[in-house]
Amino acid sequence: MAQAYMTETGNGGSGPESSGSRFRRRLAELRRDPGIWRRGIVTAALAVAVSLVMILHAELPNDVGNLGSLTETFLPWLGLAVPVLFAAAVVRKSATALIALLLPAIVWVNLFGGLVTDKSGSGGNLVVAAHNVDADNPDPRGTARSVAKAGADVLALTELKGSAVPVYEQVLEATYKYHAVEGTVGVWSKYPLTSSRAVDIKMGWTRAMRTTVETPQGAVAVYVAHLPSVRVKLNAGFTANQRDNSAGALGAALAGEPLHKVVLLGDLNGTMNDRSLSEVTSQMRSTQGAAGDGFGFSWPAQFPMARIDQIMVRGMRPEASWTLPRTGSDHLPVAARVTVKK
């Protein structure tokens, strides 16, 4: 009886085929398929193209439609091409495409794999936050209450509408004893502010400022900036030149800062990969890149796709970086905890 049962249900009998047997049979069929290497050439070519864009993104020209900066703003999303092309390679039964897909997968992990893990720590003695509150924000009072709950020692707001400034001042005064506003940007602080002034970033109106925050660990220079945005256009014109000039002016101001401890807060309208911000990013350290949990996308608020709201430091150690709950703005607030040494 036992022998009959084994014969009936074993691999060589008439019973159902095991999953292992099916896999081996299918693999043998694929090996005998002469087209497995010829199919999927287009898919393989697309995989190589995606890899080259990620590797050579700095070489993409900005002369046509700000192509380079736009690509760099959304560069991490190119990783979505890998599962899409993988599905196409499986459907096509193409070994060539599957092997080619290793290239974009490796490149993406090399560029962004470090951002996926949680690098935040528990240390830090200064909490800073930044928020583009949106000039068309329908609820500035609610936005002010929300960011006040974040517990930041220093809060920077950008895109302040003149008529809304008194609202922010009124709501935030219970949490922040000191504040300074220059044009459309402002700083609220639990510690005294000195030497507050506008910073000229070649905009024609004030969208950047600098102040000194007298923390218990010593003086910290705080810069707040709202740079021009990257816009799609058919030729390089005023918008692109203005953005480059603004980033260059901000970089020059940071380079000339006499204090050793510096924080840059605000909406830079670009990611750390954007070559147009190189004069800024080359001398400052991103708290999100050093101590964040994930990508920390901050815009647009309803479905964040890019980290364009930045907290960057010099002369201090980032400990943690995160985004805050959505407000009435089209941006998410961002916050960071840093260690300031005496």
3-class DSSP assignment, residue 313: strand
- State the pLDDT confidence band at 239, using cuts at 50, 70 and 90: low
Four-residue CA torsion sign, 172, 175, 180, 182: negative
Identify the pLDDT of residue 31: 58
Cβ atoms within 10 A of the Cβ of 48, count? 14
Identify the pLDDT of residue 13: 46
Identify the pLDDT of residue 307: 96
Token pair 């006499």 is found at 258
Q: How many residues are present in the chain?
A: 342
What domains are there in the chain, each with its CATH number? 33-116 (no CATH), 126-339 (3.60.10.10)
Identify the pLDDT of residue 314: 98
**pLDDT of 6-35, one tens digit each?**
444 444 444 566 766 776 665 565 555 667
Mean of pLDDT values over 242-256 = 94
Token pair 């639990």 is found at 190
3-class DSSP assignment, residue 327: coil
Query: To 10 degrees, what angle do helices 81-92 and 41-55 make?
Result: 160
- CB under 8 Å to 47, separation ≥6 — which residues? 81, 82, 85, 97, 100, 101, 103, 104
Identify the pLDDT of residue 33: 63
Q: Is the confidence at residue 236, as pLDDT, over 60?
A: no
Sheet with 154-158, edge to edge strand ranges: 178-182, 185-189, 154-158, 126-132, 334-339, 317-323
Strand partners, 320: 337
Q: Is the confidence at residue 238, as pLDDT, over 50?
A: no
**pLDDT of 70-129, one tens digit each?**
899 999 999 999 999 999 999 988 989 999 999 999 999 999 998 988 999 999 999 999
3-class DSSP assignment, residue 164: helix
Identify the pLDDT of residue 35: 72
* More confident call, 3 vs 153: 153
Whether residue 301 contacts residue 332, with contact meaning beta carbons closer than 8 Å, is answered with yes
- CA 280 to chain centroid, in Å, comes to 15
Q: For residue 46, what are its two tokens? A: 């697309």
Identify the pLDDT of residue 26: 59
- State the pLDDT confidence band at 279, using cuts at 50, 70 and 90: very high
Mean of pLDDT values over 265-285 = 94
The DSSP bridge pattern shows strands 208-215 and 309-314 to be: unpaired
Task: Give CA–CA dist 166/179, Å, rounded.
Answer: 12
- State the pLDDT confidence band at 64, using cuts at 50, 70 and 90: confident
Distances (CA, A) of 315 to 121, 257, 263, 283: 18, 12, 9, 11
- CB under 8 Å to 71, separation ≥6 — which residues? 53, 57, 60
Cβ atoms within 10 A of the Cβ of 261, count? 22
